[in-house]
Each structure stands twice: as structure tokens, then as C-alpha cells.
Structure 1
């Protein structure tokens, strides 16, 4: 490229009011003169990106050697916009410290799109700390979106905000993100409030046209239908779904979800065959508009369920088998384990009850003993049939096999919080608190160790449950371990009330003199906790007097009368039961209604409690026949006669022998 041509192109690019089409035209002219001119190719790629011709820009980077190294920022942005977010992350990360602020924004966006939400959160936190005023608004919106996705992805403990603030409800974008975060946490009522606030703020904007407002409100309406359906307000959900113009939604991913939500909310679409046809009539999203993995799993699950309802069991069994066989076992992948559950449902072929389903599924479990989803399905069926012992034994044997393998991935599955919670629930159902504490403590000890895998992270709920169970043992060593667990949780989040309460409880036992008073200040005052408790009313209602030990003695009929003082007071005064009316046809002629009937009148006289035999012989006979009574040693009393087998008692029938 000549110096004059280079200067003309440079002067052309410095004109800020220049149209991108003119830049593209000038760059193409320079490329015709010199096909190896990287500056011209660079200008052409930038012009294509500004014209939203992302596929063409990505093709330029693929075809021109050396351009990727010359313009890594633009290359990463082109990859991100063409749907290759994972590769965009690698390109942006390769720049390291040399990458500017724009590269960090691209990296954060690509990490978010590739579902590396923790990485995106760290980048946005770093950008927010730098305090660039022009970017504060955008960073706050994007950070709220990342928090919502962390909640959906099961990493809610990493989210920066756990509850919507007043600041979040000032702009419709942040209010919508706050609503999504609340829905992901299961706080549907709070999510509906934030969602209505977002719609109201969007409608109040003056710088948006009516069409732009409608485009912004449509995804919020789809989310509102989901909330109403989950809350059981199906009539409201159906009415709102009928007003939604689904075909006008430009984003195909949102349109697809809107169609599914409308099917779920509609009473007219109860016919599974009609629902199946409408479900598959929605257009599939493009590569650049894909659903997140949790959405894809739910949509695939809906598809399998509709196929089962339309009697397509063979097809479901075949397709789910492919998903299961393509992944290593055991695995914690939600998609694989969901496929295993539906594969089991396909094998049952809509049987009548749980026992019949077990009969069909147990042979499948023998073929796939490491299938987590199948094991949980069989466990659930055992629980439904009341066989908790078999469910417990199934999980225990599975855990034992994983421990014996020694593999890091197998151990991650072994101590997965969901599986631990399932086994602990079974132990609680069987009244085995010791086994529950042992299982929780082993899981806590495992997750406190460093792990090589980036995806392996301890569950906050699991750690809190384990530390609480250790505190309940009142053992010095266990209490110390519980304090260490709560200390680690407090270091992660110094405003976590569960960690603060556990840390104070552990300190009060192990080292009460050095109890940090600043932690105590976080906890509510005891007077507030008991302000609405009426001790006198509780005592009148039947509070046991004395300790548990004396109460148990009082209920033991073999103990002495000393424990009678600790008996429980009656909660209310005993009300005499209303006498049962007897029909006149069943009354005897001399029946007196004022006379109390004998409760033992149906028993023989000798079996009644008030029966006393008369005469000396009768009294002695009664004493001898009383079970547990004293044995009479009177020689005059007749001894019981024992007859020999085969011996006859009638002497008349006995023949005389010869003398």
C-alpha cells in the first residue's frame, strides 16, 4: 500500500461523521489495489461490525492471515456476535493485561453468554470498582442480569444482591432483572411486584416509541404468565396469555417460551395431542439466540412429557437412551439425570401403581447401576411404597461404590448436596439422628478441602446443616469443627445471619470469654423473639412439669408413685361424652335409662373384674388358676391330674387279663 493511499484512508477514518458504508467502500477499494494490506482489511472488518454484518466480519478474520493477531478485540467481538461465545472468551482472555476496558466488556458479555456466570460477575465487579461514570448504568444492569443467572444456575451464594433494593426499582431494566432474580429464588410474590414495577416504568418512558415499549414489555409479560401459572392462578394466566401477540415477538427464543407458557396456562389445550402439535409448531431459535442450558433442559423435558402423554414411549426411551449413553456415569448433569428419569417413565409404559413401576425399572437399574437419575427414581418409588429401608440401602450401597472407586469426579457425586440431603431425609424418617450427623459431617469435611475442579464448590445450605448438626451433639470436638465451618461461611459473607448465629453459638461454648461482641450485635434481641409468647397461656395449655426424664417415669406403669408429680397437666377440662342413643326395639322390657349399664356385661361372670368365688374350695381354686399368683403349698389341696396319652379313664371298657 502506498503512503498516499494510507494517508487518505487514515484521514477518511478520522472523520467521525462519516457513514460506515463510505468506510467500507474505501476499504474495499484499497483491498483491490493490495490484497495483503492489513490496515485496509482491519477497516473493512470494523465497518462490517458497525453495519451489524457480523457473519461477514467473522469471515474476514477467518480468511485474512494475521488479522486476528492485529485486532484481537474486534475478532473477539465478532465471535461473540456470531454465537461463538466460548471462543470469544478464549480470545479476549489471551490479551491479558494488554487488553483495554473494551476487551473486558467483551469478555464479560461472552462469559455471560457461555454461562460462565461467576467469571462475568468478577469482571463486572472489577469494572464497577474503577468508577467510570458513563458506564455505571450499564454495569449495574448487566450485574443484575448476572445475579439472576447465578440464582437459576444454582450458584445463588455468589450473587452480589439477594434482595431487590430501592435503587433497583427506579429503572425498568434493573427492576426486570430484580424480578428474574426473585423468581429464580422461588420468591414469586416478590417477583410479581418487581415485574409490575418494571412494566409501569417502561410505559412511563417518553424517549421510547409505542412499538419499542411493546417490544420491551413482551418478555416481561411472558415472565408474568409463568409466575401466575406457578402460583396456581391459572385463570389469570390464561387471560394474560390470550392478550399476548406471540407472533409479533421478534426474538425466537422468547417466542418459543411464550408458546410453551401459553400451552401450560390454557384449559382449552388439555388435549395432549393438540398440545404436542402446537409445541412443535414454534420456530427454533437461531445460533445467536439460543436458550440457556436450564431453559433448554426444561423445554426438552416438556417435549418428552408431551411425547409420553401421546403414547410415544418407544421414541422417548430411544432418544433418552442416547443422551444417557453419551455422558459418563455417574454424573451430576441435570440434562442427563432428567433424561434418566424420563427414560424410566418410558420403560414403565404408564403402569397402574408404584409397585408395578418398580418391577419394570429394577432390571434397568441392574444394567445402569451408576445412573444417578435412575437411582433417585427408584428411591422415590421405594418411599412412595413405604419401603424406606430399601431406599436407604440403595443409596448407601451406591455411596459405598463411589467411595471405593476413589475418582475425583465420583467423590464429587458421592458428596453432592442433593444426594446427601436425600439420604439425611431418609435417616430422619427412620429416626436415626446419629447417622444424619455422621453423613453431614463427612460431607462438610470433604467440601472444606481444596478441589481442582472449578465447577466443584461447597453448598452453603449443606455446610450450614452440617455445622448445625455438629453443634447439636454438644461435643467439644464437634463444636470446634462447627465453629470452623461457620467461620469459613462468615469469611465469605460477613452479613450472613446463619453464619453469624452459628459462630456466636460455637464461641459461647468453646471460648465464651472471647466472644466477639460485634457479631452479637447482628443478632436480634431475645426480648424481640419472645415478645409475642404468653408463658401463662402455654402453661395452661399443657406444658409438662419437670424434666423429660421424670415425665417418662410418670408414663411408666411399673415405676413407683414418686413420678406421679411430674405428670402432664390436661390441656382442657375433660368433657363427658354424650350418651349414645339406643333404639327402643333393642331395649329390654325392664330397662332403666337412669341406671348405669355394666361395661363388662358381655363377659362371662367368672371373667369379670368384680367376680368373687364363694366358699373355701372356690377361693382356693381361684388362687391356683390366677396367672402370676402365689402358689399354695397346702398339702390338702388337690394336685392337678395328668392323663397319659392313649390311656382311657373309663374302667368299664377295660378288659381283665388272666391272673
Structure 2
């Protein structure tokens, strides 16, 4: 063993860094002489890694268990390169080598690939804080990619940058990451600008060959097709898609996405059966080139939609049912809830209206009462039919069931920011600000308490909305709670203007002496905010002015405008009587019966007696009233004479 080790060490001392094949041969020769030579196995694994034979290197670590602890860095890197990123995070994270930047880089990349973007962001911030000039460029690129993934995964509040800086557009890698982050936030116009800048910067690089430039630009063009499609520029998107050679894209995952985007942008692929065949013609990517979760969800959604358009509703219903039944409910998983929505679409495929779709979907709610995707679908249909009360009752009863369960996972769903925002929007639609304020305060109180949750940080938008609603109540206790919320947001990000403004507003109500001077200096002065407002013009336009205490409280209402005489209405000749005299004043009471006119005066004794019977508005005699009540025939009257009838 000593001789083998000596010969191996001598060979390694004589070889250069490029002689990995010779190093591998020497290591294999040493292992043949002594299979327990750990150093030879270590050298063999490193040589295989340099030769990009990652699967063979993994076999070495699996055969020699002792090597996993001795060469932890190489083992973690091997796991990462063979597609086992989650295991690589465990190995790299368990290392006690805090000063090893190489291990930190492996940990950050493995965390990124395993979609633990929050951890990757923390590691890159730590690497940037320690400082290394030769790594600054790579860290900036990887941090930008991590920020984009945080936006896609719904954790945008953890991103280091929310808007691209000027220096980010100077290099094509950082410009491309800025474009991806803008797309994830829904800022497609900004993303289009950054993406075009990235393509231009890539083509301007001098130390890259044309083939290398082409390989870098192809994924950018695939992304450009997506942006143009989302912006509604289908003609331009189709033109860009025609310039993409699919067979030259090496990554199979990117090739499939390019093909799907081309189907979406192409007018020629309007035939759903042809689209279905093209969609499934792409080869499956290997384990080391898998999609991220949000990409998988979108591709599966596209597959279900194309199948529905191809009259395969029963197959979609069956496939989505398997996805739903395999998951624990209630669930916030986008894949599960997306499957629930498309399952409802498959069951209501024959419905022509929203009301008809409701009748076919409501029976599913009895079978799956905790299906979040199904509940949101029914809520949306209620809103489309104008039945906001039913939509509100559906969500309220669902929340009540989750609150009664007391389970931590159920409560996470109960106070999920998206669901809370949906109910608050319904309250706002119905003019119920008190109920919306109560719901927001409950959600803020829940997320501020320490609890085991899958979400590392609560939604910043939810906390800001809740604190703002509490401030609007003008209550001391609510203002104090709002101050605590804004204070927590300020501690997370001391440059957040919303947190600063809310903190100052809350402290000004509770205790203005606690407002730090540095916060007051950040906010703009009130005089600058109202500098362009003309108070006299507003008062003249009708804005009521408050009377000062030293002045008499006189009414300062504007005088009523003088009435403008209206023009005489012209009467058509066809409506004029034959003896009409335009110079004669028209009788205003001509439509009333003669006896009801104000100027009517009956003539003679009979006429005056008859007028007394018209009691409308006049004095009624008691005798006449009794007569009316008795039916008009007085029994105690004079007897009729004989012969009279």
C-alpha cells in the first residue's frame, strides 16, 4: 500500500492539471493493488469529476462510504451535478467548514436547484458580504437569478432588488436576469426592454465565438416569444418564433418550452389536434435538466387545456382527479389547485353559460368541501353571475370550517394572503369596510405570531393592507397595533417607504415623541406636497371652508345661480285646435272638469245645493255623514203616501 501511495504521489507531482486521464489511470492502478486505499479512491473521484463523468464519480462515493465524510466538498458537488440537489444541500449544509467559500458556492447552487431560493439568497448575501473581487461578478449574476426565482415562487419580498439598476443592463447575464424578474412581477414592458438589451450586449461580446453567442441568445429568444405573447403582440411573437432553430437548443427542457411558446404564438397551430401532437412530440429532459415547479405547473396546465380543446374532457377529468386525491386537502399547492380548476372545467364542458356551469359543478363541492381550487372556481362563477352574497357566504363558511379544525396546516390555508384578499375584495364590492378591516386584522395577527408554517415570511402586501386598514379606524389601540406591524416591516427593510410612512403615521397618533428624526427627514415635507394646490381656486370651486374659532360661524355658501328664463316651447300645428289664438292666454285648468276648476261658480238654487254635495276639501254636515253611513235610506223618515212607490 505504501509503495502504491508513493508511486501515485510521484505521478501526481509530475503531471499537469490537464492530465486527468493519466491521473485516472494511475488511481485505477493503485486501487487494483489495494482496494482499501482511500487516497487512491479520492484521486479517482476527482479525476472523474474533471472529466465530467459525474455518474461514475457518484459510484465511487457510494462504494467507499468513508470517502463521503473525508471528501465532503467533492461529494456534495457530485450530488449536485447528478441531479440530487436536495441531498447536496444536506451534505453541504452539514459541513463545519465555515471559511470554505467553495462549499458555500455548492450550497447556494444546490439550494437554488432544489428550489430553496430563500436559502440560496441568504448564502449569496453572506458570500458578497465577505468580499472577493474575483467572485463579485459571478455572485451578482447568481443573486439576480435567485431574485427572479423568488418572484416566480411568490416570495418577492425576499428579493434583494425590485428594479434593475443601471449597471445590471451593462452585461447580458445580469440584464437577462433582470428581464426574468420583471416578467415574474408581471412587468412585461420592462422585461421586454431588459431582454432586448441583453441580446444586444451578448452580440457585442468580443471574447466569445459566434457559436457561443448563438447558444446564449437562443434561450433569450424563447423568453422573448413568451413576453410578446403576454403583451398581445402575436404577429411579432410569431416572427421571432420562426427564427428559433429548435434542434440547435441543447437543453431539452428549453427546447420543449420553445416549442410550446411557438404553438401559443402561431396562427397556423389553431388546430387543437395538431397542437396536441406537436406538444407531445418533444423528448423528455434528463434528470439533470428538469423544469422548475412553476414551469412544470404551466406545462401541465397547457397539456390539460389542449386536451380539453381536443375533446378529451373525460381523460382530463380522470387525470386531474388523481392529482387531487393524491394530495392532502386543503392545499395551497399551485399544481393541486390548478388541477381542481381544470377538473371543474372538464365536468362543465357541456355548459354554455355561467349559471349552467354552476349547476354542474356544485355537486362536486359536496364530495370535496375543502378543495381550494374548486371553491375559488365556484366563487368566480358566482361573481360572474352577479351573486356576490353567495360568493361571500361560500368563502366565510369555508374559513369557519378551517378555523374550527385548529390544525396548523388548515390555519395556514385559512389565512393565506390570496384567499384573504379574495374575501376582502368581496367585502369591498358589497360596501362592507368594517368586515374587510376585521378580516385583515385577523390575518395580520396570525402571521405575526410565531408558528410552524411552510412560508418563511408572511406576505408584505397583506401586512401593509392590514396595518393601513387599522390606521383608518382612528382608534388608539388599532393605531398601536398598526405601528407594531409597520415597525416589523421597517426592521426587515429600512428603505421601504411604505413601512416608513406607516410607522410615522402610527406614531403620530399614539406617541409622536417616539418618531426618530431620521425617519422624519426621509419623508417629504408637507409644504412640498401641497405646493401646487391653489386653496383659493378650490374654495371658489365649491370646497366648503371651515370657520376659524375667532371668526363668527357664518354660512359661506355660494349664492344660487340666477335662473335663466327658459325658451317658450314651440307647439306643432297638428296639435293646435282650429280656433287657437296665440295671443290669448291658455287656461292652465283646461284639463280638469268644470266643477273642479277654481273659477267655477254654480248658477241658481239647484246648482248651489248640488255644489254643497261636493265635499272634497269642504265642510261636511253631520246629517249628510249619517246618511252615507246608513246606506242613504232613513228608516225614521216620513211615511210614504198611499199609492206612492
Give the drift of 1:475.
0.5
In 2: Cα distance, 1:294 partner to 1:34 partner: 49
In 2: Cα distance, 1:578 partner to 1:248 partner: 81
Q: Which residue pairs with 1:36 in the alignment? A: 36
Equivalent residues in 2 for 1:123-162 (5 A)?
A: 123-162=123-162
Q: Which residue pairs with 2:499 in the alignment? A: 499
**Deviations along 1:156-205, whole A, 9 cap, x unmatched?**
11111111112212211111111111111122222122111111111111
Q: Which residue pairs with 1:9 in the alignment? A: 8
In 2: Cα distance, 1:285 partner to 1:385 partner: 44
Equivalent residues in 2 for 1:14-29 (5 A)?
A: 14=13, 15-29=15-29
Tell me, which stretches of 5 or more residues in structure 1 are unaligned?
548-561, 626-630, 650-655
Greater Cα shift, 589-598 or 449-458:
589-598
Q: Is the CA contact 1:546–1:566 (under 8 Å) kept in the aligned structure 2?
A: no
Q: Which residue pairs with 1:429 in the alignment? A: 429
Tell me, which stretches of 5 or more residues in structure 2 are unaligned?
547-552, 602-607, 636-641
Equivalent residues in 2 for 1:477-496 (5 A)?
A: 477-496=477-496
RMSD between superposed Cα atoms in Å: 3.3
Q: Secondary structure at the match of 1:349?
A: coil
**Deviations along 1:9-49, whole A, 9 cap, x unmatched?**
12323433441111111111112222222211111111111
Give the drift of 1:392.
0.7
Q: Secondary structure at the match of 2:391?
A: helix
Q: Which residue pairs with 1:194 in the alignment? A: 194
In 2: Cα distance, 1:388 partner to 1:640 partner: 60
**Deviations along 1:473-496, whole A, 9 cap, x unmatched?**
001100111111100100100010
Equivalent residues in 2 for 1:502-651 (5 A)?
A: 502-535=502-535, 543-545=542-544, 605=592, 612=598, 614-615=600-601, 624=616, 635=622, 638=625, 641-642=628-629
In 2: Cα distance, 1:237 partner to 1:268 partner: 13
In 2: Cα distance, 1:161 partner to 1:64 partner: 44
TM-score normalized by structure 1? 0.87
In 2: Cα distance, 1:595 partner to 1:156 partner: 82
Q: Is the CA contact 1:317–1:346 (under 8 Å) kept in the aligned structure 2?
A: yes
Q: Which residue pairs with 2:47 in the alignment? A: 47
Q: Secondary structure at the match of 1:97?
A: coil
Q: Is the CA contact 1:225–1:240 (under 8 Å) kept in the aligned structure 2?
A: yes
Q: Is the CA contact 1:543–1:569 (under 8 Å) kept in the aligned structure 2?
A: no
Greater Cα shift, 96-105 or 322-331:
96-105
In 2: Cα distance, 1:475 partner to 1:621 partner: 68
**Deviations along 1:404-458, whole A, 9 cap, x unmatched?**
1000010111101011001111111111111111111111111100122353531
Give the drift of 1:636.
6.6
Q: Which residue pairs with 2:550 in the alignment? A: none
Q: Is the CA contact 1:501–1:523 (under 8 Å) kept in the aligned structure 2?
A: yes
Give the drift of 1:606.
6.3
In 2: Cα distance, 1:158 partner to 1:185 partner: 13
Q: Which residue pairs with 1:554 in the alignment? A: none
Greater Cα shift, 219-228 or 575-584:
575-584
Q: Is the CA contact 1:545–1:567 (under 8 Å) kept in the aligned structure 2?
A: no
Change (3 A) 1:98 1:524: closer
Change (3 A) 1:27 1:617: farther
Q: Secondary structure at the match of 1:8?
A: helix
Number of residue pairs matched by the alignment: 622
In 1: Cα distance, 2:559 partner to 2:81 partner: 73
Change (3 A) 1:49 1:363: same
Greater Cα shift, 480-489 or 587-596:
587-596
Q: Which residue pairs with 1:274 in the alignment? A: 274
Q: Does 2:209 align with 1:209?
A: yes
Q: Which residue pairs with 1:653 in the alignment? A: none
Q: Secondary structure at the match of 2:235?
A: helix
Q: Secondary structure at the match of 1:281?
A: coil
Q: Does 2:278 align with 1:289?
A: no
Give the drift of 1:632.
5.2
Q: Which residue pairs with 1:335 in the alignment? A: 335
Change (3 A) 1:77 1:587: farther
Q: Which residue pairs with 1:265 in the alignment? A: 265
Give the drift of 1:508.
1.1
Q: Is the CA contact 1:354–1:381 (under 8 Å) kept in the aligned structure 2?
A: yes
In 2: Cα distance, 1:408 partner to 1:612 partner: 82
Q: Which residue pairs with 1:475 in the alignment? A: 475
Q: Secondary structure at the match of 2:193?
A: helix
Q: Is the CA contact 2:246–2:258 (under 8 Å) kept in the aligned structure 1?
A: yes
Q: Secondary structure at the match of 1:260?
A: helix
Q: Does 2:394 align with 1:385?
A: no
Change (3 A) 1:621 1:16: farther
Give the drift of 1:214.
0.6
Q: Is the CA contact 1:246–1:258 (under 8 Å) kept in the aligned structure 2?
A: yes
Change (3 A) 1:525 1:67: same
Change (3 A) 1:489 1:25: same
Change (3 A) 1:635 1:352: same
In 1: Cα distance, 2:30 partner to 2:415 partner: 62
Give the drift of 1:641.
2.8
Give the drift of 1:125.
0.9
Q: Which structure has the bigger radius of gyration?
A: 2
Q: Which residue pairs with 1:346 in the alignment? A: 346
Q: Secondary structure at the match of 1:96?
A: coil
In 2: Cα distance, 1:374 partner to 1:588 partner: 71
Q: Is the CA contact 2:4–2:33 (under 8 Å) kept in the aligned structure 1?
A: no
In 2: Cα distance, 1:460 partner to 1:282 partner: 40
In 2: Cα distance, 1:108 partner to 1:483 partner: 36
Change (3 A) 1:19 1:419: same
Q: Secondary structure at the match of 2:270?
A: coil
Q: Which residue pairs with 1:401 in the alignment? A: 401
